[in-house]
Structures are given as C-alpha cells and as structure tokens.
Amino acid sequence: MAFLQTHHLTAFYGDFQALYGIDFILDEGETIAIVGANGAGKSTFLASLTGRRLVEPKMIVFDEKPIGGLRPAEILSRGIALVPEGRQLFPSLSVEENLLVGNYGRKVRGPWNLSRVYSLFPILKERKHQASTSLSGGQQQMVALGRALMSNPRLLLCDEISLGLAPAVIKDIYVALDEIRGEGSSVVIVEQNISQALDAADRLYCLLEGRVTLTGKPSELSMDRIRSAYFGG
C-alpha cells in the first residue's frame, strides 16, 4: 500500500477545472518531484493535499486513510506539512516565533525541534530575534522550511522552494533537504526548475493543464521527453 495516493483527483476554482483526474503514488521515504509550467496545476495539487480545496475524501488516501477535504489543521496533525510558495512567513513574528508557530498546540515526538532546526540552519539561531522580514530570501526560505519541520511531518510538501533564489543559495537549501530526508520524511517538491528537480528526486511527475503527462525515474527519462511533456505538443 502506498504512503500517499490520489485517485482521479479533480479540483475546481468555481467553474474552472484545475485538475483533471490526477493519479499519484508516493511510497514511504520517497522523494518525488512535480514539474510543470505555470498553470499546470502543481499548486492546486498541493492545495488539495493540504485541505485547501474541496475534494472527495477517497480521492486522497494517506497512510491508508481517506483525507480528501479534511480541514488543513486536521491534515497537518495526520503528518503532512507544507512549505508554501513564496515562503509566506508571518511578518509580525520574529524568526523564532515563526518556527514556534510550526508546532502550535501540538507536542509530536520526532527528530525536529528548535535546536535541531537551528543546527540545520545555524544562521537562523543568530537571527532568531529579528523580524522575519529583515532576512534575505534564502534565509526566509530556511525559516519556512524550519517552520514546516517543527510539526515533525511524515510527509513534507515543498512548493517552489528555489524560486527567486541565487544558485548558491538553492544549493544550500537542497543540501538541507537531503538532511531532512535522512531523518525519514517523505518529500514532494514542486519545481519549475527541471534540472534541480531531476537531481533531487527519486521519481518525477510532469503536469500539463491539470493532467499527468509523464512519470518515471529521472535516469529513465530523456530531456526531450520531459520537455515535450512539460510544454505539450
């Protein structure tokens, strides 16, 4: 039985259909990359997984239980945490407070706590009392990652974590992601940066206009096939 599975997942924004029956499988411990152009449905897919789009319960099965359409807080407590696109830190909270909000009202046992996040990202410890808005983009991304880790997720969803960052910073973030995977989390990364996604992932899904157009292991996929699945045609 897969760790996370979606069955013909459909999602709408009003009358606009954003996902047309996505079938997706993730095994425990796997890292999966989802690539696709703007508007392919990647963010809608993550929104559905985190309870922000109304979907049928059985469309999403996590750890053998249907979770489609549950409230976001309930899904988080089942062990799925999101690093949202654009980082979305809380501007009136300090760095440390942003991290602490990540395990609001929950005391889940696991590898991640404040000191573990600070050892992953030492710079954040130095800046812990600063406003999150005063950090660089890369440091803000570290806070967003750390905030999601504080809930000790079994599945970590990362939405466009390299967007707008310098290449050296992206490398740091992905090195950290390796360490996170080492602690046992399964990971889904949504990326526009295909080569970055291919490097990090065990398997790849390509979305186009709300449908899966390609799936497979990075080593088995040629750049040409990915390109045509990405752009269509």
Partner 1 sequence: MQILEVIIQGILLGGLYALFATGLSLIFGIMRLVNLAHGDFMIVGAFAVLVGVNALALPILLAAILAGCFMFILGYVLQYLLLNRTLGRDILPPLLVTFGLSIILQNGMLETFSADTQRLNMGAIQEQSIQLFGGLAIGVVPLLTFISAVLVIMFLNWLFYQTETGRAFRATSDNPEIAQLMGIDNNRIFALAMALAMVVVTIAGLYLGARATFDPLIGPGRLVFAFEAVIIGGLGSFWGTLAGGVILGLAQTVGAQINPEWQILFGHIVFLIVLVVRPRGLFPRVAG
Which residues sit at the interface with partner 1, rule CB under 8 A? 50, 52, 71-73, 76-77, 81-82, 84, 88, 90-93, 97, 100-102, 104-106, 147, 151
Distance, in Å, from the CA atom of 124 to the CA atom of 140, rounded to the nearest integer, reads 9
Kindly state the smallest distance separating residue 48's Cβ from partner 1, in Å: 13
CB closer to partner 1, 185 vs 213: 185
Kindly state the smallest distance separating residue 99's Cβ from partner 1, in Å: 10
Kindly state the smallest distance separating residue 38's Cβ from partner 1, in Å: 21
* DSSP code at position 154: S
CB closer to partner 1, 58 vs 71: 71
Cβ–Cβ under 8 Å, residues 74 and 51: yes
Kindly state the smallest distance separating residue 100's Cβ from partner 1, in Å: 6
Distance, in Å, from the CA atom of 135 to the CA atom of 124, rounded to the nearest integer, reads 9
Tokens 């990915």: give the residue: 226
Kindly state the smallest distance separating residue 27's Cβ from partner 1, in Å: 24
CB closer to partner 1, 117 vs 214: 117
CB closer to partner 1, 29 vs 91: 91
Cα 54 to the chain's mean position, in Å? 19
CB closer to partner 1, 90 vs 174: 90
- Please give the torsion angle defined by the CA atoms of residues 11, 203, 201 and 224, in that order, rounded to the nearest 10 degrees: -90
CB closer to partner 1, 72 vs 184: 72
| Helical pair 167-182 and 137-149, crossing angle rounded to 10 deg | 10
Take residue 78 and report the two structure tokens written for it.
Answer: 């089942």
CB closer to partner 1, 72 vs 137: 72
Complete DSSP assignment for 96-127: HHHHHHTTTT----SS-SHHHHHHHSHHHHHT
* DSSP code at position 220: G
Kindly state the smallest distance separating residue 202's Cβ from partner 1, in Å: 25
For the sheet containing 155-159, what is the strand order? Answer: 80-83, 155-159, 186-191, 31-35, 203-208, 211-216
Helix (H) or strand (E) holding 146, with range, is helix 137-149
Kindly state the smallest distance separating residue 17's Cβ from partner 1, in Å: 22
- Residues facing residue 186 across a β-bridge: 155
